[in-house]
Chains A and B, each alone.
Chain A
């Protein structure tokens, strides 16, 4: 989470610029504020289980991120926390389950489908890749790497899409040619989780 906060800080301007092109320009600030608050909360009192950390992430993001990303990521982390229960450590199957639960949460909250030019376009392929990797018996770093790659590809695919959900949908055809900021932040988060799991970060 600390690494995620750092990455979001590094990409704050990029995310806000993307959001300025097809939205209201606050996505980078929103995410940076939320994850910054999460790091502070973790420093104050870090839960000792992965589920506890995910739950803390959820409540912090819901109250601190604002915008659409707050409820969406908040619900995602909350569902993920429920999926991993009180497991002391996450194996590949649990990580895949947590990602699936997160996706279900985002869809329940935002009602977006694949191709609507939202974070779902990054998260859904990532979940599929993670489930396939878990099915092949891969370890957690490999699974997360596959998920991150699928998310990056999914995020890139949003450039050609017409937005049908969120602020960008008011632009209609004019949203084509721009990367969706939420899909980009999802891809950045998964990349970071993969890097941390494989010891790169």
Chain B
């Protein structure tokens, strides 16, 4: 089994941290997402011991990405990272909800610490989305497939996450093309960035050892209407 990057969510509110953890974990069943909210005493606030404990709990050996909400949450997160000694801990400046979801999905796909941290940062509204690019390349030796999106929301957050997860572990380069652009199919944000709505016809192009398996899985997922 792969060791995955873990996540810690530092918030002034225990319930807020738990809610975000719940949301992030839904898209990333094998990622350890630990809520570190509240003052450690049932009230609002931040607590150093809660955060350091959460870092230990979240670290399976591949490192931990820490997200925070306001003010002292950042300071406590920084201190916990500085004091983590032999663990790898990265504190990221990202919107806690979008960042946690993007990071969780990235970690689920087996990405390393830097990539997971980058996924969180890239989730900021308005941040450039480097994974979406104009689709110009003619890929040779690639298999391709057209898929019509029958589900209601098109390639929105959840379907994108499912698609990315479906191909994440495969040894294949997979891109999805739509509207003259293409996106790396292993990047949730890139897929969402395409903005493909219900009824859209997307093109899936795969190359590499598992290319055919990738297409088969995407086709199956689309036929199930992305489990909606």
Question: Do A and B interact with each other, yes or no?
Answer: yes
A50 at the binding interface (Cβ < 8 Å): no
* Smallest beta-carbon distance B65→chain A, Å: 20
B57 at the binding interface (Cβ < 8 Å): no
Give the contacting residue for A68; candidates B40, B44, B48, B75; CB below 8 A.
B75
B contact residues, total (Cβ < 8 Å): 15
Q: Are the C-beta atoms of B75 and A167 separated by less than 8 Å?
A: no
Q: Are the C-beta atoms of B72 and A68 separated by less than 8 Å?
A: yes
* Smallest beta-carbon distance B51→chain A, Å: 11
B47 at the binding interface (Cβ < 8 Å): yes
Please measure, in the bound complex, the distance between the C-alpha atom of A71 and the C-alpha atom of B51, giving whole angstroms: 13
Q: Are the C-beta atoms of B49 and A67 separated by less than 8 Å?
A: no
**13 other A-B residue contacts (CB within 8 Å) besides A63-B49, A75-B79, A109-B78:** A63-B47, A66-B40, A66-B45, A66-B47, A68-B75, A70-B48, A71-B48, A71-B75, A71-B78, A72-B75, A109-B75, A110-B75, A167-B70
A121 at the binding interface (Cβ < 8 Å): no
Q: Which single residue of chain B is at the shortest CB-CB distance from A30?
A: B45
Please measure, in the bound complex, the distance between the C-alpha atom of A23 and the C-alpha atom of B45, giving whole angstroms: 12
A173 at the binding interface (Cβ < 8 Å): no
Q: Are the C-beta atoms of A67 and B79 separated by less than 8 Å?
A: no
Say whether, besides A71-B75, A109-B78, A167-B70, A66 and B49 are in contact (CB < 8 Å). no
- Nearest 7 interchain pairs by C-beta: A71-B75, A68-B72, A66-B45, A66-B39, A63-B48, A62-B48, A68-B71
